């Protein structure tokens, strides 16, 4: 996996050294309020992260540790994942509370969208949010996604699904970029 850069962020491929920080992130009830069944145990987090490392080896994309570019401080994580073979690639993100409202989630989502459609040439991205998670919906809209309505989500409940195609992304890009 490649290191990705945006104006104020570095997105580094997941490394096992990141696990303790991510496990703490996934143990925060406020961060996990709208993600899956909520707080994850350290073992659940490590199992998920191991699977993402394996996916990255297989597919060339997975989980990126998001860092503030100026300080290299960890601020969150973002991912491209295939949950089940044959389903579209899914974009996701989670950020530490101290970094909410700073535009980092939008910037990281845009970096992953550009990487997915530009470098990886993925034809379609999807993302899911809890129906009550307006903030993540706003992030996805700013990253170019459109609301595709309510659907069964990846964790079993009803979620709002967002989609973006490579063609839509290409059409929205400024000429010459």
CATH topology of domain 4-172: Aminopeptidase (3.40.630)
State the pLDDT at residue 156: 85
pLDDT at 37 over 90: no
pLDDT at 176 over 70: no
Q: Where are the domains of the chain?
A: 4-172
Q: What average pLDDT is seen over the chain?
A: 95
CB neighbour class for 34 (10 Å; exposed up to 12, middle 13-18, buried from 19): middle
Among candidate residues 86, 24, 72, the one with its CA nearest the CA of residue 49: 24
State the pLDDT at residue 155: 87
| Radius of gyration for the chain, computed over Cα atoms and rounded to the nearest angstrom | 15
- 82-95 in b/e burial notation, b at 16+ Cβ within 10 A? beeeeebbbbbbbb
Sequence-distant (≥ 6) Cβ neighbours of residue 17 within 8 angstroms: none
State the pLDDT at residue 42: 96
pLDDT at 134 over 90: yes
pTM summary value: 0.95
Q: pLDDT grade, residue 142 (50/70/90)?
A: very high
Q: pLDDT grade, residue 36 (50/70/90)?
A: confident
pLDDT at 123 over 80: yes
Q: Where are the alpha helices (DSSP H) in 66-122?
A: 104-114
- d(CA 96, CA 111) in angstroms, rounded, equals 18
State the pLDDT at residue 174: 79
State the pLDDT at residue 131: 95
- d(CA 143, CA 130) in angstroms, rounded, equals 18
């Amino acid at each position: 996996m490649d290191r990705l850069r945006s104006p104020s962020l570095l997105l580094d491929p997941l490394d096992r050294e990141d696990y303790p920080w991510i496990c703490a992130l996934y143990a925060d009830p406020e961060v996990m309020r709208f993600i899956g069944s909520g707080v994850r145990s350290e073992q659940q987090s490590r199992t998920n992260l191991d699977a993402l490392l394996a996916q990255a080896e297989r597919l060339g994309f997975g989980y990126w540790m998001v860092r503030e570019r100026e300080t290299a401080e960890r601020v969150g994580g973002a991912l491209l994942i295939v949950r089940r073979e044959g389903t579209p690639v899914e974009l996701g993100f989670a950020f530490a509370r101290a970094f909410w409202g700073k535009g980092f989630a939008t910037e990281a989502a845009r970096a992953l969208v550009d990487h997915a459609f530009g470098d990886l040439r993925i034809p379609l991205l999807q993302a899911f949010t809890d129906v009550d998670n307006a903030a993540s919906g706003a992030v996805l809209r700013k990253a170019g996604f459109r609301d595709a309505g309510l659907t069964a989500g990846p964790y079993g409940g009803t979620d709002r699904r967002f989609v973006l195609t490579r063609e839509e992304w290409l059409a929205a890009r400024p000429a010459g970029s």
